Structures are given as structure tokens and as C-alpha cells.
Structure 1
Amino acid sequence: MPLETVQFTLHNAVKGGISPSVRWKCITSYDGTDFDGWQRQPSGGSVQNHLEAALSRIFDRQVLIQGSGRTDAGVHARGQCFHFDADWPHPPDKLLRALHSILPVTIRIESAAQVPDDFHARHSAVGKRYSYRYYLGRANPLEQRYLWACRDVPMRWEAMLDAAERLVGTHDFTAYGATHGKDNDPNPVKTIHRLDLSRKGRHITLVTEGSGYLYRMVRSLAGALYWVGRGRLTPEDITRILESRQRTHRIVTAPAQGLCLDRVFYE
């Protein structure tokens, strides 16, 4: 169905008295390379900007969305969640087709479903899963946008595993969060259920699941574990820094392009 026909049909449906207050839960994936992060920006260059512009065009009115959380510029997503309120008197697949006719090809809507009015993409979330990819050496140009190409040097693998295990559990992660992110999440106590490292050849992958993460926390954990692998930090240093509850220059924030938001969990 052409976008203009969808808009005309929707306009008549709303005019005919159908309630416009249906809440929609959407899962989206995106290549974050060319966006100014997730969060709405005055420049109009964020993922949220593009989604809101597309929805507003479809519904012929301003439509604002609420995401499960923000990702920085350059960070990718396979399972970012957002919600919005609007009536759509058609099957969800037609909404997806309408959105994909407008959105850049680097944003894809994986699913759209009606949910109860009390669902909230951010406040209803009970956990998230992230992955971070490293590559030791000069990476394939086709993969360069999706990993951190590190120096190809011997890695202290057992020390990295030891350090990762020390970070699992419920802790005050102030030392591994960015200080200027406190306004968005004032509670530094988080529970990390999983912090797994795997290696295949020169590829290293970090997968973490937790109740929530401070601003730039996953990238800080990824950077810290890399320095353990390089011998710049020890597993004992990781524990001491965690317990200090103070951000230190010894914690390096890993580059954005290696990070991906894989999934947001809801009860």
C-alpha cells in the first residue's frame, strides 16, 4: 500500500472515532556508524530523530517515542526497544513496510506489537544484553565498523577471565561509569549476571547481561579487560578500582564501534 494511501486511510479512521491511544512496542536494529547516537539531537542526526520523523510523516502529526535507553554515536543495536502511542487500523506488517519506505537502510524495524498502556520501554525493562567485539591486528575493512582493532600482541587470557569474573554480581560500579552520566542514572549499584569472554583466532567477544548499566559502563569494562590482557592492569587492580568507587585514568573507554545492544529484557 503506498504511503499516501496509508496516511489517508489512517486519517479517516481517526476522524471516524477510533481511539488514537494504542501503545506500540517496537524492536529496532541499526548500524550506528553514521548516526549521532540514539537520543534525539537538535541536529536531527540521531536514530530517534529518524524514527520520530518517519512516524510523524506516516501519522500526519508529531509522534514522539521513548527508548529503553540511549546508545552513543557509533554504537550499534540488534535489539533496541522503543514505544509510542498512536492508532494504526492495519496489520503491524503494513506499519513496518510504511516505516521502511522512509527510514534509511541502516535502520530496520524488527517487530511491532500492541502492548498494554502501562508498558514503558525504559521503566519496564528488567535487564539488557550487550556484546563487544575486539580484533587483534588489522581488521578486514568490511568488519572495521563493528569492532575494535587492537594491537596484535600476546594477551594474558587467563588474567582476563579472572578479571571478568570479579565484576560479576551486585556492585557499586561508579568507577566504571562516566561521571557526566549521573544525571541520567543516579543509582550506581547494578547487578551483572554474566560477563563472558570468548576467543576464536584473532577475534575476541565480550558478552554481558545485567540489570542495567551506567553511562559508558560496558565500554569501560571492555577497555579495562583489554588492559588486563595487555598486562597494564591485573585482576587485583580491577577489584581495587571497583571497590574504590572512583573513576580513574587507568580505566580506558573502549571505542564505540565495537559495542552492540543485543537485547532488552522484560518480564
Structure 2
Amino acid sequence: MVKPPPVSRWKCVVAYDGGPFNGWQSQEGGNTIQDLIEKQLKRIFDRQIRIEGSGRTDSGVHAHAQVFHFDAAWTHGPEKLRKALHTGLPRSIRLKSIRRVRADFHARFDAKGKIYRYHLNLGEADPFEVNYCWSLNRELDWPAVQAAAKIMRGKHDFWAFSGENDRTYETTVRHLRRLDVKRAGRRVTFTFEADGFLYKMVRSLTGALVNVGLGKLTPAEVADLLKSRRRIPTVVTAPPQGLFMVRVIY
């Protein structure tokens, strides 16, 4: 009797253009990154395999390095598995790496933090950039934006900068370890690093920073929001196409 091959846990790093899809997380309708990867895994292994991601990204949000894991018996090496997955995935989803990991590795629960980057264009973005940034076509008060970013850094209750779905979390306190704001001409990049992020937190922080720059919100009001745990209309959610998941930290 032939002994079946052992089941291994596989850690995968995937990049995707989120524009054509309904986000990362599986949902009815099937047009999500998770659904498409699981569909191809079923073709390869002839059984349903569930993948576990490091976290979700919303519809239209992109990723340079989302991480997920799954369990399967595969004896042909990681590179052949990567190629097998690519045969059934659109070119807007590419596996950057696949490797065997310890059996108790978990893409979500082992993560120590994440890095996101948001791209803003203060001018009118060209046709090749418009799907990957927020084309604001406005000038911002740069010192005010920097002052508000300084206030946001650190450990705070970010309830006022989260989406409705996260209001039931056990805690909405997060440590925003890094918030860099860099400008090159008309292009602005916000880089966020934290031990974790609430639902729509990065896009809400970005929207607040933009409104500070437009004079609709003050740095002092940002500080008050972090203390008061109340969301106001001037904390807008930035459009999804400018947001990229850059790295999951383990």
C-alpha cells in the first residue's frame, strides 16, 4: 500500500491589483482574491482547501505583499506549486513566494504588524496612475498635515477613525508606530505601520489628514477625536484605489 504524502502548511505572499475585485475576503458572488485562489487550489488538489489571510483588504485596495497560508500534500516543490496556481489565476494576481512553514504558523495570528501606503496626487493624475492614487487636484497646508500626523502617531484609541464593522471589537486601541508623510512634486505618500489596523482605519486617517490640509479640520480637533471616541463628518474615508498593503511583519 502506497503511503500518502504528508500534509504541509504553506506560507504564500501574493501581490494583486485590487481594482477588478470585491476585496480579499470570500463572499457571495465569488469575485474576491480569496475565492479565486481557493478555486484554483481546488482544481490542483481536487478538494476544497480553505486559505487563511493575514487580514482583509476592501474592494479596490491593492497589495504588494498580502500573506496567507493553507494546508495541503504536495511533493513537487514550491516553485511548481506557484506555477500551478498561476495557471488558473488572472495576471492581476501573482504569487511572489511560496514556502513550507511550521505546522502551527498562522498568517493572521502570528503577524506582529502591517505596513500600508497611501498614494495621493495633488494635481490631475495621468491615465496610467489614476487607478492607483487619489487624484485630489488641490493644494494642501503642508505644516498642518505634518502637525496632525505627529498627533496620530503612537498608541491611541482609534475608534473615531474606524469603520462601522469594527465598533464591536474588544479593543480599538492600536499602536501606530510610524506615519511618514513624503512629498515629491505633486505626489504625496502616506506610510502607516502599526501592530494592527481597524476596518478602514488607514483610509480614515488619510481622509482626516487631507481635510486638515484643506482647512476643514484642525490638528487640535484630531487630538480631541482620539480622546473623545466620536466620529465626525470631516473624518472622511479616502477612496480605495490609492491604498496598498506593503508588508506583513512577523
Q: Tell me the residue number matched to 1:3.
A: none
The reply to whether residue 174 of structure 1 matches residue 168 of structure 2 is: no
Q: Which of 218, 222, 236 pairs up with 2:220? A: 236
Q: Tell me the residue number matched to 1:192.
A: 176
CA distance in 1, matches of 2:49, 2:28: 16
Q: How far off its partner does 1:129 sit?
A: 0.1
Q: How far off its partner does 1:67 sit?
A: 0.3
The reply to whether residue 46 of structure 1 matches residue 32 of structure 2 is: yes
Q: How far off its partner does 1:117 sit?
A: 1.1
Runs (4+) of structure 1 moved beyond 3 Å?
A: none
Which one-letter code corresponds to 1:18 in the other structure? Answer: P
Q: How far off its partner does 1:151 sit?
A: 2.6
C-alpha contact (below 8 Å) 1:179/1:247 kept by paired residues? no
Alignment of 1:96-245 (within 5 A): 96-153=82-139, 155-183=140-168, 185-245=169-229
Q: How far off its partner does 1:223 sit?
A: 0.3
Q: Which of 30, 48, 72 pairs up with 1:62? A: 48
C-alpha contact (below 8 Å) 2:179/2:193 kept by paired residues? yes
Alignment deviations for residues 39-58 of structure 1 (CA, whole Å, 9 cap, x no partner): 00110100000000011111
| Most deviating of 137-146 and 122-131 | 137-146
Which one-letter code corresponds to 1:146 in the other structure? Answer: Y
Task: List runs of 5+ in structure 1 lacking aligned partners.
Answer: 1-14
CA distance in 1, matches of 2:117, 2:135: 15
Alignment of 1:27-38 (within 5 A): 27-38=13-24
Which one-letter code corresponds to 1:260 in the other structure? Answer: F
Q: Which of 212, 228, 245 pairs up with 1:261? A: 245
Higher helix share: 1
C-alpha contact (below 8 Å) 2:159/2:167 kept by paired residues? no
Task: Indicate the SS of the match to 1:160.
Answer: helix
Aligned residue pairs total: 250
CA distance in 2, matches of 1:30, 1:186: 31
* Percentage identity across paired residues of the two chains: 48
Alignment deviations for residues 225-264 of structure 1 (CA, whole Å, 9 cap, x no partner): 0011111111111101111111222200000000000000
| Most deviating of 28-37 and 240-249 | 240-249
Q: How far off its partner does 1:84 sit?
A: 0.2
CA distance in 2, matches of 1:51, 1:214: 25
TM-score by length of 2: 0.97
Which one-letter code corresponds to 1:171 in the other structure? Answer: H
Task: Indicate the SS of the match to 1:125.
Answer: coil
CA distance in 1, matches of 2:75, 2:4: 12
Which one-letter code corresponds to 1:242 in the other structure? Answer: L
CA distance in 2, matches of 1:249, 1:231: 14
Which one-letter code corresponds to 2:191 in the other structure? Answer: V
C-alpha contact (below 8 Å) 1:131/1:262 kept by paired residues? yes
Which one-letter code corresponds to 1:145 in the other structure? Answer: N
Task: List runs of 5+ in structure 2 lacking aligned partners.
Answer: none
CA RMSD of aligned residues (A): 1.3
